[in-house]
Amino acid sequence: MTRGRRTLVSIGLLVVASGCGGGQPTGGTDGPLRVVATTSIVGDLVRSIGGDAVELRTLMGAGVDPHLYKPSAGNVRAMASAEFLVYSGLHLEGKMTEVLTEMGTRGVETLAVAECVPADRLLGIEGYDTLHDPHVWFDVGLWEYAAACLRDGLIRVDPEHETGYRERGDALIADFAALDAWVRERIAEVPEERRVLVTAHDAFSYFGQAYGMEVRGLLGVSTAAEAGTADVQELAGFIADRGLPAVFVETSVPPRFIEALTEAVVARGGRVTIGGSLYSDALGSPGGPAETYVGTVRANVDTIVGALSGSAE
Ligand SMILES: [Zn+2]
pLDDT for the residue numbered 208: 97
Total domains in the fold of the chain? 2
Res 169: pLDDT: 98
pLDDT at position 128 is: 87
Indicate whether 35 and 64 sit together in one domain. yes
- Spans in the chain with pLDDT lower than 50: 5, 7-28, 311-313
One domain for residues 172 and 193:
no
**Ligand 1 mean position, distance from CA 223 (Å):** 6
202 and 77 fall within a common domain: no
pLDDT at 311: 45
Q: Which residues, by Cβ under 5 Å, contact ligand 1, an ion?
A: 203, 281
pLDDT at 207: 97
* 34 and 119 co-located in one domain: yes
How far does residue 201's CA lie from ligand 1's centre (Å)?
7
Ligand 1 centroid vs 200 CA: distance in angstroms? Answer: 10
Looking at 119, 150, 182, which one is the last position of a domain? 182
CA–centroid distance, residue 88 to ligand 1 (Å): 11
**53-61 contacts: CB < 8 A, separation 24 or more?**
53/154, 53/158, 53/161, 53/164, 53/165, 54/84, 54/154, 55/26, 55/27, 55/31, 57/82, 60/282, 61/282
**How many C-beta atoms lie closer than 10 Å to residue 99's C-beta?**
16
- If asked whether residues 44 and 9 sit together in one domain, one would say yes
Considering the domain architecture, whether residues 147 and 245 belong to the same structural domain is answered as no
The residue segments making up the domain with residue 254 are: 189-308
Predicted confidence at residue 1, as pLDDT, reads 55
CB 239 within 8 A of CB 261: yes
Which CATH number fits the domain that encloses residue 270?
3.40.50.1980
CA of 107 to the centre of ligand 1 (A): 29
79 belongs to a structural domain: yes
Residue 6 CA, ligand 1 centroid: distance in Å: 32
215 Cα–ligand 1 center, Å: 14
- Nearest 5°: CA angle at 68, between 67 and 72? 120
247 CA distance to ligand 1 centroid (A)?
17
Among 182, 200, 221, the domain-final residue is 182
Asked whether residue 313 is domain-assigned, the answer is: no
Out of 182, 197, 217, pick the residue that ends a domain: 182
**299 near 185, Cβ under 8 Å?**
no
Same domain, 221 and 283: yes
* CB neighbour burial string for 252-273, b if at least 16 within 10 angstroms, e if fewer: bbeeebbebbbebbeeeebebe
Whether residues 157 and 114 share a domain: the answer is: yes
State in Å: Cα 167 to ligand 1 middle: 31
Considering the domain architecture, whether residues 119 and 206 belong to the same structural domain is answered as no
Q: How far is the CA of 170 from the centre of ligand 1 (A)?
A: 27
Let me know whether 60 and 123 are in one domain.
yes
Q: What is the pTM of this model?
A: 0.88
Identify whether 123 is part of a domain.
yes
What is the CB neighbour count within 10 angstroms for residue 13?
Answer: 20
CA of 196 to the centre of ligand 1 (A): 18
What's the CA-to-centroid distance between 300 and ligand 1, angstroms? 15
